[in-house]
Amino acid sequence: MKKELEIGGKKFERKGHTYIMGILNVTPDSFSDGGSYITIDKALKHAEQMIREGADIIDIGGESTRPGYTLLSDEEEISRVVPAIEAVKKEFDIPVSVDTYKSGVARAAIDAGADLVNDIWGLKYDPALAQVIGDANLPCCLMHNRKSPEYDRFIEDCLDDLKETLKLAQAGGIKEENIILDPGVGFGKTYEHNLLVMKHLDAFNRLGYPVLLGTSRKSLIGLTLDLPANERVEGTIATTVMGVMAGMSFVRVHDVEANRRAIQMTEAILKVREE
């Protein structure tokens, strides 16, 4: 496998540095920023801010995936994400990811210029999605998820589930070098399961792919600190630091600048040479 992953014409080292995926939700009902960026003007201003603060990728989502979210039609989701993707790609020189698990939405997003598909169901929701990604020869982030949080050996079961996802990717023609994995904090897991994922992040490196950690403002932090979504920056930073120490290649966050500073500080400590 190549040392670098290419996303939207940009090179990303597979190991040795943690990159930032900035979250741009063009949804009225996301758990922490729903309705904030639903106009193109507001979406572009937020994208510009995240880029200025150090985002390496902008991840655009048109359907909330918070607990109890409303499933959207392909047409509704496309009407939200495609204009945002087109606008960000026109205005800025940065890779853009589309956060969707539906093949129809992914196809429209790719046509609009999306450089990566970020699938919260690890290719297990829509059987056609792997083929769409494979045919486009694009990178993808494939997340661990389950319909119910029932496990025998939690970490091993998560890894086995991701191995099933990798088989689906191979069957769809997705190249190994185009795959990023995500342990799926907050999806198909109890509070204790999410803490265990954080404790055993290094286990997810066993599969040999770059790993993305997505914890930003999630209920794991809210329940631990008893804080609302807009007061979870410090808790998110703690998980980001643990992610850097465990060798995560990406973090997906709302608060780009704070997390970038935490990454920079952590990496400086990890990389200092002993006298």
Q: Where are the alpha helices (DSSP H) in 92-227?
A: 103-112, 129-136, 154-171, 191-199, 219-225
Q: Where are the alpha helices (DSSP H) in 25-146?
A: 40-53, 74-91, 103-112, 129-136
Q: What residues act catalytically? A: 218, 252
Tell me how far apart the alpha carbons of residues 181 and 144 are, in angstroms, rounded to a whole number.
8
Give yes or no for a contact between 7 and 115, defined as CB atoms under 8 angstroms apart: yes
Tell me how far apart the alpha carbons of residues 213 and 252 are, in angstroms, rounded to a whole number.
6
Give yes or no for a contact between 130 and 171, defined as CB atoms under 8 angstroms apart: yes
Give yes or no for a contact between 97 and 116, defined as CB atoms under 8 angstroms apart: yes
For residue 236, give the nearest of 264, 255, 212 by alpha carbon: 255
Sign of the alpha-carbon dihedral angle for 41, 43, 49, 54: negative
Look up tokens 């990023």; give the residue: 180
Amino acid at 1: M
For residue 240, give the nearest of 256, 224, 223, 222 by alpha carbon: 256
